[in-house]
Amino acid sequence: MTGSNEFKLNQAPEDGISAVKFSPNTSQFLLSSSWDTSVRLYDVPANAMRLKYQHSGPVLDCAFYDPTHAWSGGLDHQLKMHDDPRTPCNAGTFSQPDKVYTLSVSGDRLIVGTAGRRVLVWDPRNMGYVQQRRESSLKYQTRCIRAFPNKQGYVFSNDGSTLAIAASYMYEMDDIDHP
């Protein structure tokens, strides 16, 4: 039963919805990813799908980088970025070493949880190399990653009902600290 302040969005995915995220600073735009291999952008007040793009496998997570950039990732080992999610222009497809289970964006960090309990930290402005690679300290596969609001780290969880905190993006290489 649908209440008077509740409605279904038109053109819903054909399989399970894996993630939904609102655009930063507004509830007008909603991004959704799905097991049907699609990512959809909805204009909520208009109840209209504004954009749909595909991956070659189920899409498990999506996120806005800012109001005009959206990311998605899934079982096809791909991260996709759209420059303006309201237009059908793919700004980049970036191969990952494994299936992408989860992602989060905060400031200039794109944090990606992949199969094999790996966590990759990228700079979305320069996807030429991974800024940081870590293996999760958790025993089971990472399923959810969320960046701290202050952009100083992230929290992640796994299949085994465990939470962990990565309180910094700092790492040491050759006795030099790197932000």
Structural domains of the chain sorted by starting position, each given as residue range(s) with its CATH number in brackets: 17-178 (2.130.10.10)
State residue 15 phi and psi, 5-degree precision: -140, -175
Task: Give the pLDDT confidence score for residue 2 in this predicted structure.
Answer: 58
What angle is formed at CA 107 by the lines to CA 143 and CA 152, rounded to 5 degrees? 70
Give the Cα separation of 170 and 154 in Å (integer): 12
State residue 81 phi and psi, 5-degree precision: -125, 135
Each of the 179 residues of the chain gets a pLDDT tens digit; together they read: 456 788 888 898 889 999 999 999 899 999 999 999 999 999 999 999 998 999 999 999 999 998 888 999 999 999 999 876 566 667 889 999 999 999 999 888 999 999 988 999 999 999 999 998 988 777 778 888 998 888 888 888 887 777 777 776 554 444 444 44
Task: Give the pLDDT confidence score for residue 68 in this predicted structure.
Answer: 83
Task: Give the pLDDT confidence score for residue 82 in this predicted structure.
Answer: 86
